[in-house]
Structure 1
Amino acid sequence: MINIGPNIRRLRKLNIMNQVEFSSKIGISQGNLSEIEQGNCNPSFDTLLAIKKQFNCNIDDLIIIVKSNNSSVLSVGELSMISNYRFLDGLD
Structure 2
Amino acid sequence: MSNVGNNIKKLRKVKGLSQQAFGDVFNLTRGNISSYEEMRAEPKIEIVLKIANYFGIPVQHLIEKNLSVNEILNFNDYFQPDIPTLGGKRLSQVPLLEREALLDACTYVSKLNELPVIEFPLQSRNRFIAMEYMDAIPVPGDFGITAQSILFFEEIDIDSLHTLNNAFGLCFSAEEFFIGKYTMVEREISLVLNAWKKVDFVLAEKGNFWKLYGKFERI
TM-score w.r.t. length of structure 2: 0.33
Q: Determine the C-alpha separation between the residues in 2 that align with 1:14 and 1:8.
A: 10
1:53 paired with 2:53, answer: yes
Q: Percentage identity across aligned positions?
A: 29
The structure whose Rg is larger is: 2
Higher helix share: 1
Match of 1:81 among 74, 81, 86: 74
- What runs of 5+ residues in structure 1 fail to find an aligned partner? 67-72
RMSD, matched Cα: 2.4
What residue is the counterpart of 1:14 in the other structure?
14
Bigger shift: residues 79-88 or 38-47: 79-88
Equivalent residue pairs, number = 83
**Structure 2 CA distance for partners of 1:55 and 1:78, relative to 1, 3 Å:** closer
Q: Determine the C-alpha separation between the residues in 1 that align with 2:72 and 2:52.
A: 15
TM-score w.r.t. length of structure 1: 0.71
Q: Determine the C-alpha separation between the residues in 1 that align with 2:53 and 2:42.
A: 18
Bigger shift: residues 34-43 or 5-14: 5-14
Q: Determine the C-alpha separation between the residues in 2 that align with 1:47 and 1:81.
A: 22
Kept in 2: contact 1:26–1:54 (CA 8 A): no
